[in-house]
Amino acid sequence: MNNVSSTTLKMTRNFDVAPERVFDAWLNPEMMRKWLFTLEATNKLAQNDPQVGGTWEIIDHRDGIDYRAIGEYLEIDPPNKIVFTFKMPQFSESEDRITVGLREVAQGCEMTFTQVINVPHEENWTEAELEKALGEYHDGSEHGWNLMFMGLKELVETGKISYTG
C-alpha cells in the first residue's frame, strides 16, 4: 500500500454570466477574498501571481485562528481553464490538484470543477479505514465547495455576497 491514496471530486455549476466573469473570480484577488476559502469579513490576505508557475495564497481568520491555503498555477487558458495545486500546510503537506473548466452555454457559462484529493495514510490503516477516510475527505470537500460556489454564484451574478458565513 502507498502512503497516499486519492479520490476525485467532480462538480458542475451554471452561472448567468459570461465565462470571463467566472474566470476572473478565480484569479482576481479582490474577488477571491470574497469567496475562495474565505469571506471578505474574515480575510486577512488574498494574493496571487496568476501565471503558470506563479503562486497564490489566502489567509482566513476565524475563531482566533489563521487558516492558510496556498498553491501554484499549473495551467491558465483564459477564459476556459485554470489548473492549480491546493494545500493547507497547517493540516497536511498533502497537495491536491484542482481543474476549473469553463464553457459558454446559452444561459451564460458552465463550470466543471475537478479536485483530485490526496489522502495521506495513517499508520496501520485497514482497507476499510482507508475507504472511510477517502469518503470523509470527498464529502467534506464537496460540502465546503458547495458553500463557496453559492458565494461565487452570487458574487459573479450580482457583484456582492450577502451572507457572512
Q: Say which CATH topology domain 4-158 has.
A: Alpha-D-Glucose-1,6-Bisphosphate; Chain A, domain 4 (3.30.530)
Alpha-carbon dihedral of residues 36, 84, 143, 87, nearest 10 degrees?
-90
pLDDT tens-digit map of 90-144: 998 899 999 999 999 999 999 999 999 999 988 889 999 999 999 999 999 999 9
The ranges assigned to domains in the chain are: 4-158
pLDDT tens-digit map of 70-94: 999 999 999 999 999 999 999 988 9
